[in-house]
Amino acid sequence: MRRIASISEGNQMIRSATIDPEARENRFQQLKAEIHEKLISGIDMAVSRSVKEDRLREELRRGAEQLSRMHSDLLSQAERQRLIDELVDETMGLGPLEPLMRDPSVSDILVNGPDCVYVERGGVLEPTPIKFRDNDHLVDIVRKIAGRVGRRIDESSPMVDARLLDGSRLNAVIPPLALDGALVSIRRFSTKPITAKSLIESNSATPVMLDFLAACVRARMNILISGGTGSGKTTLLNLLSAFVPKEERIATIEDAAELRLQQPHVARMETRVSNLEGRGQVTARDLLCNALRMRPDRIIMGECRGAEAFDMLQAMNTGHDGGMSTIHSNDAREAVHRLEMLVSMAATDLPMWFIHRQIASAIHIIVHVTRMPGGERKIVQISEVTGVNGETVNMHDLFVYRQTGMDEHGRSQGRFEAKGIIPQCLERLERRGWKVSRSYFREGVLSDGKLNGLRGSR
C-alpha cells in the first residue's frame, strides 16, 4: 500500500466540542468520506488481491491511524477510534453493517432505506441508530456485498438473492423497484449448532416430543416440517438431521446453503440462478433428479417450493425413505394442501385422487413450528399422516401446544399436550428396532422436565 496523502487543513472538519451534535456528526461523516477516498486511492489493487484479508485489514488500520493523527486536535479519542474502525469497515467490510455482522446475538438485519436499520435479537425486532450517508452509500454497500459472491445488482437487474461467504442469506432490492431507498435483508445463522437440550431449555419442545422425533428419523420415516417465514423450520431441520446415523450417505439440496450437518458423509448441493443472458440455471428439481443417481441413503431438501415437490414424493415412494424437507404453511393440515398445489402445478395431468395417494404414502410425520408473538419459536403440532379417505388426506395430531396467555414480557404462556392417540407408525418404529413407550402418547399435559437423554432405544 502506498503512503496515504494527508487532507488539507482547509477541508471541513470537526472543530470543537461545542458544535451542535447533529452538525458535529455531519462533519464527522464528511471527514470520514474524504479520508476513505484517500485510503482507496492509496491501495495498489493488483497487490491487494494477492494479500490475505487479515494482512490487508492491518495495513488499512495503520493508514487510518496515521491519517487520524494528523487531526488529533480536532477529534476526541473516542471519535478517533470510531473513525478508524468505520474506515476499515467501510473499505474491507460492509460499512455501517459490519458491527452487526460481528454481533452473534443478531439473527436478522433489515434495512429500509439509508436511515432505517432494524435487527432481530432473541426473536424480537428492534431499531438501531445505524444510518448510511445517503442512498448512494447504501447501494454501494449492497453492490460490494453482492460482488463478493459473484453476483451483480444494478438498475438493469435491481434484485439479488445470494448466500454470503459466512453462510448468511442476502436479499436486496434497489431503486427503481425500491421506492424509498434500497431494501436489504440479511438472515444470519449461528455457527453453534442447536441441540435438543437447548430447544427444551427454551421451552420450544419437551423431551417426549423430541424423543419421538429422534426415533422417527432413525427409523427412516419421511418428515415434513412446516411453518411461516422465520419460524425456525431450518433450525429444526438441522436438529433432526443430527439424529441420522453417521454411517449413512446424505444428499442435501438447497436454494441457499443453510444446513450444518455434522455427519462425515454429506453431499451438499445448491441451486443456481440464470445469468444475465438467461442461461446456466440449475433448479432444485435438476439437483434432486441428479441426487437419485448418487447412491444416497437419504435426501434432505432444504425447502419444497416448486416442481421439485413432485419428484420428492416420487423418490420417497420408490425406496428413498428417511427423507426430510420444509414447506411454508400456517398449520400441518395446510402443509398438505400446499403440497397438493405444488404437485398439481408440476404435473398438471395427474388427477387429484392420485396426488392424495402419493402424499399419504410418502409423508409420515408433519411437524409444525411457529414464531410466537413474543419472538420465541415453538413446535406447536406433531401430526401423523394415516392414509386417504375419499378426497381427503387423513391425519391426526399426536402432540400440540396450547397457548393460555402472555406473561409480562409479552411471551407466550401455555402447555404441551399429548392427544391420547397411539400413532400407527409405532409398529414401523419397532420393526426398525426403535422402541418408543406408549405412555408418551397418554392424553394430558407433557412434562416440562429436563432432557435426560433420548429415551427411544433399541
Please provide the average confidence, as pLDDT, over all residues in the chain: 85
Q: What is the pLDDT of residue 133?
A: 86
Which amino acid is present at 268? R
Write the DSSP symbol of residue 363: -
pLDDT category, 416, cuts 50, 70, 90? very high
Among 105, 112, 94, residue whose Cα is nearest residue 172: 112
Q: What is the pLDDT of residue 32?
A: 72
Burial class (CB in 10 A: 0-12, 13-18, 19+), 88: buried
Write the DSSP symbol of residue 40: H
Question: Is the model's pLDDT at 4 over the cut of 70?
Answer: no
Report field, pTM of the whole predicted structure over 0.85: no
pLDDT category, 47, cuts 50, 70, 90? very low
pLDDT category, 41, cuts 50, 70, 90? low
What grid cell was written down for 99?
A: 458491527
Question: Is the model's pLDDT at 97 over the cut of 50?
Answer: yes
Question: Is the model's pLDDT at 429 over the cut of 70?
Answer: yes
Question: Is the model's pLDDT at 10 over the cut of 70?
Answer: no
Q: What is the pLDDT of residue 2?
A: 45
Q: Which residues in 391-408 are b (16+ Cβ under 10 Å) and which e?
A: eebebebbbbbeeeeeee
Q: What is the pLDDT of residues 260-306, one digit of tens each?
A: 898 999 999 999 887 766 788 899 999 999 999 999 999 999 999 99
Q: What is the pLDDT of residue 56?
A: 64
Q: What is the pLDDT of residues 360-381, one digit of tens each?
A: 999 999 999 999 988 889 999 9
Q: What is the pLDDT of residues 165-219, one digit of tens each?
A: 788 889 999 999 999 999 999 999 877 778 899 999 999 999 999 999 999 999 9
Q: What is the pLDDT of residue 212?
A: 96
Question: Is the model's pLDDT at 448 over the cut of 60?
Answer: no
Q: What is the pLDDT of residue 1?
A: 45
Q: What is the pLDDT of residue 447?
A: 65
Write the DSSP symbol of residue 244: S
H-type helices in 242-372, by residue range? 284-291, 308-316, 332-346, 352-362
Q: What is the pLDDT of residues 129-169, one digit of tens each?
A: 999 989 998 998 898 888 878 788 988 889 998 888 788 88
**3-state class (DSSP) for residue 398:** strand
Among 164, 182, 181, residue whose Cα is nearest residue 173: 182
pLDDT category, 412, cuts 50, 70, 90? confident
Among 212, 211, 180, 325, residue whose Cα is nearest residue 259: 325
Which amino acid is present at 59? E
Q: What is the pLDDT of residue 84?
A: 72
Write the DSSP symbol of residue 272: B
Higher pLDDT residue, 351 or 4?
351
**3-state class (DSSP) for residue 226:** strand
Question: Is the model's pLDDT at 236 over the cut of 90?
Answer: yes
Q: What is the pLDDT of residues 69-85, one digit of tens each?
A: 666 655 677 777 777 77
Q: What is the pLDDT of residues 21-39, one digit of tens each?
A: 777 777 677 777 766 666 6
Question: Is the model's pLDDT at 386 over the cut of 80?
Answer: yes
Tell me what the mean pLDDT of segment 400-411 comes to: 88
Q: What is the pLDDT of residue 276?
A: 65
Report the C-alpha gap between 154 and 152 in whole angstroms: 7
Which amino acid is present at 305? R
Question: Is the model's pLDDT at 16 over the cut of 80?
Answer: no
Is residue 7 within 8 A of residue 14, CB to CB? The reply is: no
Domains parsed from the chain with CATH numbers: 1-92 (no CATH), 95-191 (3.30.450.90), 196-445 (3.40.50.300)
Is residue 369 within 8 A of residue 327, CB to CB? The reply is: no
Report the C-alpha gap between 246 and 410 in whole angstroms: 41
Q: What is the pLDDT of residue 263?
A: 93
Is residue 449 within 8 A of residue 207, CB to CB? The reply is: yes
Q: What is the pLDDT of residue 399?
A: 97
